[in-house]
Amino acid sequence: MKSRAVLTIIIPLVILAVALATGSVLMLRLFSVAVLALSLSYLWARVGIRGITVEVKKSAERCQAGGRFNEEITVFSSSRIPKFLVTVEENTTLPGHHNVAVFNLSTKGYYVWQAQFDCRRRGQYTLGPLTVTVADPFGFFPLRRNMGEPQSIIVYPATLELPFFQLPSHHEPGPGSSRWLISEIGPNAARVREYTSGDTLNRIHWRSTAHAGKLMVKEFDADRSDYAAKNTWIVLDMHRASQSGDGDESTEEYGITIAASLIKKYVDGGQQVGLIASGDQPYFFPPETGSQHLWHILEALALMKATGEVPVERLISHEIERFGINSVIIVISPVISERMSALLRQVRNHGALVIIISLDSASFGGTARAVNATGSLVSSGLKVYDIKRGEYLERALDSRSSSYR
């Protein structure tokens, strides 16, 4: 564009210089024609940009990753002068999109076209403004105007159908179940087991302790129907140091997709569900029901970044008093530390049902720091799902094929 502007100045000056040097009348006339043509071209462009307005309509206000939406753009001309080679380009931060059209406008005419946008990745993006360009026939004086207001659009994370992700019963067999001793321990406790670090002293069952010759503590239980009506907490690890992988194939994206899918599953089922995370900022949503609650959480997940400085075990420790009897705690994390394992056993000992969804860091290019700690959770009888990079999440989170591992 700059080279064209330079040419519009240099060419007439060169013609004028030749005309003056040679005294050629023909060159003087050619100089006059060049000046006249450039003047008319400039006026053409100035008049052409006037009287143009635009209107943009989106087909939907929400879009989820993997979905799409349509947009209709109408360009109007209120001028009595036809406009040729009008170029309209939409400025957008949506990845992979370049929306542009070139057309002519008749006297007081309009032009309509539709564009389709694929929502590829969660996040907040802008659509618009539109850049309208009108040029003279020679293209020497293109004039641009930004029209319309930029619109913000949030792409929510994808949600998967997880019909076979079910809450386990405390009576399901698994490692560590042989240690459970059923006894008459009162109406609120279901069994006793051996004392482990983190158990409170007020849960010690002295009769069983005397019988077994070692400390035994009461453990509370509820059947599956009770859990279906209680609070479910999703604890999502957004600690910077825990993450592995890049882009869509990262523990950050897998964790957010799983969290979003589980939250939608429980909200659709009429159950109360909440979210706790600490990423670019603290996120806390107490358990509630309803579509409005769902979209508030999905919006937070759409904008969330795994840049947190707070380890997930600190989140659990800070909120542990919220996880009472019959609560369901689902922890999603790439790193299961020994400290977290002790906290989760403590949460379980308080009567909550604990499920761990472990994102295998090694498969995402990280280190396998979580293996030993995950093993200690399994040996304690807790339900652990191990998610590897590239797995179909619907299959990996299928309770029918998953086991204590």
CATH at 61: 2.60.40.10
pLDDT in tens, 310-345: 999 999 999 988 887 778 999 999 988 888 888 998
Residues 347 and 257 in one domain: yes
For the whole prediction, is pTM greater than 0.85? no
Residues 109 and 233 in one domain: no
**Dist CA 372 CA 378 (whole Å):** 10
Residues 147 and 243 in one domain: no
Residue 218 placed within a domain: no
Domain count, the chain: 2
Residue 200 has a pLDDT of: 63
In which domain, by residue range, is 65 found?
55-156
Final residue before a domain boundary, out of 103, 122, 156: 156
pLDDT in tens, 122-172: 999 998 899 999 887 777 778 889 998 888 899 999 999 998 898 765 444
Residue 354 placed within a domain: yes
Region 4-31: mean pLDDT is 78
